[in-house]
């Protein structure tokens, strides 16, 4: 088992014919994801390799969507996917205005649709489906669920895990923006429900207090072992560290606060990324 997607999930790619969309459509299909069509308004009727291109999402029989359109078109594209009840809708696009993100997420909530992102690398259920831009070759099937605010840092840690024979049920990038759809808590909830997930890795970073809230949630509701890493211990206040959401404001959002909160509920936090596999082994 896995969360959100598996080998049966029929996936439509919105913004399929752009540089990024094209590259990743093929890559996802190659990995085995069931890509049933691409959508680029005005380009319907073409074929992109063996992927048919449509003008509208409505023309495609799909269950889930992944979106690569430029940020100014994200709101419209996401509302199109939500209107058809596709879920999850994975918003890869970065630089989405926060008002658009809030609008999409609120509407998705009303329609009971899961939004991943925006500004996310997406997710992978190894051996089943890739619905994102993560490098699939470093992943491996196994019992660990991973959720992260970061992309490459995730790959770094996944790589260490895979080398240590700690495969993954699903790995999900929740996205680096301040306002995102699936967050630590809603993703933790899914991993808790997933029978095959035996332990969870949660990769956080500075900014906001999502990790602190996740710690409270873990204490209350998560029975499976959780291991964490928090990036940004040396980040100065008031500066955006790459991700729009990674900024310490005043006293909130520091790595110290997050590490403290997680340790307080029994979640070990690795000092350096490569220590994660050992912490996992200690708990399994």
Partner 1 sequence: MKLMEYEAKDIFVQYDIPTSTGYMVENVENLKAVLYKLGLPVILKAQVLVGGRGKAGGIKFAKTEDEAMEMANKILNMEIKGLPVKKLLVCTPSEIQKELYVGFVIDRNKKKMTLLASTEGGVDIEQVAATSPEKIQRVLIDPIIGIQEFQCRNVASKMGYKGKEMLSLATIIYKLGQIMQDKDAELIEINPLAITPNGFEALDAKLVIDDNSLFRQTEFKEDFKDSQEYTPIEIKAMEAGLAYVELDGDVGIIGCGAGLVMASLDVVNHYGGKPANFLDIGGGASAENMKKALEIINLKKGVKSIFINIFGGITKCDEIARGILEFDPSVPVYVRMMGTNEKEARKILNEKGYELYQSMQEAAKAAVKGV
Give 135 or 196: the residue with its C-beta nearer to partner 1: 135
Which of 32, 61, 83, 281 is in the footprint of partner 1 by CB under 8 A? 83
DSSP string, 67-135: E-S-GGGHHHHHHHHHHTT-S-EEE------HHHHHHHHHHHHHTT--EE-SS--EEEETTTEEEESS-
What residues from 8 to 37 belong to the interface with partner 1 (CB under 8 A)? none
Give 179 or 198: the residue with its C-beta nearer to partner 1: 179
Residue 229 and residue 195 in contact, taking contact as beta carbons nearer than 8 Å:
no
What residues from 170 to 199 belong to the interface with partner 1 (CB under 8 A)? 176, 178-180, 183
Q: Does 56 bind partner 1 (CB under 8 A)?
A: yes
Q: Does 42 bind partner 1 (CB under 8 A)?
A: yes
C-alpha dist (Å) from residue 263 to 25, 142, 216: 40, 26, 11
Give 181 or 225: the residue with its C-beta nearer to partner 1: 181
Which of 154, 162, 168, 254 is in the footprint of partner 1 by CB under 8 A? 154
Q: Does 135 bind partner 1 (CB under 8 A)?
A: yes
Active site residue 243: yes
Q: Does 159 bind partner 1 (CB under 8 A)?
A: yes
| Sole window of 29-37, 60-68, 69-77, 257-265 interacting with partner 1 (rule: CB under 8 A) | 69-77
Phi then psi for residue 64, to 5 deg, are -140, 160
SS3 at position 47 = strand
Residue 248 and residue 205 in contact, taking contact as beta carbons nearer than 8 Å:
no
SS3 at position 259 = helix
Which of 5, 62, 86, 96 is in the footprint of partner 1 by CB under 8 A? 96
Strand segments, DSSP code E, in 122-262 are 122-125, 129-132, 141-148, 168-173, 199-205, 226-231
Q: Does 97 bind partner 1 (CB under 8 A)?
A: yes
C-alpha dist (Å) from residue 162 to 136, 156, 268: 12, 10, 20
Q: Does 55 bind partner 1 (CB under 8 A)?
A: yes
Q: Does 237 bind partner 1 (CB under 8 A)?
A: no
Q: Does 223 bind partner 1 (CB under 8 A)?
A: no
């Amino acid at each position: 088992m896995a969360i959100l997607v598996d080998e049966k999930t029929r996936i439509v790619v919105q913004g399929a014919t752009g540089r990024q969309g094209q590259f990743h459509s093929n890559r996802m299909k190659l990995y085995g994801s069931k890509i049933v069509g691409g959508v680029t308004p005005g380009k319907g009727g073409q074929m992109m390799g063996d992927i048919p291109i449509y003008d509208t999402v409505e023309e495609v029989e799909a269950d889930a969507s992944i979106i690569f359109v430029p940020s100014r078109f994200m709101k419209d594209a996401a509302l199109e996917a939500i209107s058809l009840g596709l879920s999850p809708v994975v918003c890869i696009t970065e630089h989405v205005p926060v008002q658009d993100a809030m609008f999409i997420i609120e509407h998705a909530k009303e329609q009971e649709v899961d939004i991943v992102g925006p500004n996310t690398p997406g997710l992978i259920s190894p051996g089943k489906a890739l619905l994102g831009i993560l490098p699939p070759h470093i992943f491996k099937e196994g019992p660990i669920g991973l959720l992260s605010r970061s992309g490459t840092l995730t790959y770094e840690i996944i790589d260490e895990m895979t080398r240590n024979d700690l495969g993954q049920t699903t790995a999900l990038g929740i996205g680096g923006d301040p306002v995102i759809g699936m967050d630590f808590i809603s993703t933790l909830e899914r991993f808790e429900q997933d029978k095959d997930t035996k332990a969870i890795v949660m990769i956080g970073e500075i900014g906001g207090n999502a990790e602190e809230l996740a710690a409270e949630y873990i204490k209350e509701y998560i029975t499976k072992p959780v291991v964490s890493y928090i990036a940004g211990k040396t980040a100065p206040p008031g500066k955006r560290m790459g991700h729009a959401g990674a900024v310490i404001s005043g006293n909130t959002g520091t790595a110290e606060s997050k590490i403290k909160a997680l340790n307080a509920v029994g979640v070990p936090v690795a000092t350096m990324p490569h220590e994660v596999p050992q912490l996992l082994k200690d708990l399994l």
